Structure 1
């Protein structure tokens, strides 16, 4: 699928840079989004209930070159694909 099409549809691919604007206001910012693979989110995806959920990773963390998890189970409506990931 072309990157232009993904941008036009505002689809989020694993590893995309996203803006978080959800209910946890002190976590608003830019993060990497990857699909949440916890058993509840996988079960909901399999059953077709709700939309996919994501784990947000801090790409700017300074600890041991590991990405720090910022939030789990983030709803699709709480993130927007960043223009910077184009």
Structure 2
């Protein structure tokens, strides 16, 4: 498996589902009227992040990400996930 394929799997199977789960939680806050302006800003930020990851998938599938760049992105994602936990 190439580094690009590993990155694609990571984004498809972990990152985007995590972002979508968090967005669902934020939308539940809005629906229950327990949200504030910060929640709405967080929704906007997470939607932008989801779009960036979807664009990344497009770039990987188009062959625009090389091995080195793919590994750097994987490392960044792992760092982000470890900070979250």
Q: Which TM-score bucket, shorter chain as reference?
A: under 0.3
- With normalisation by structure 1, the TM-score equals 0.23
> Which structure is richer in relative contact order (CA contacts within 8 A, separation 6 or more)?
2
- With normalisation by structure 2, the TM-score equals 0.23
Name whichever structure is richer in strand by fraction.
1
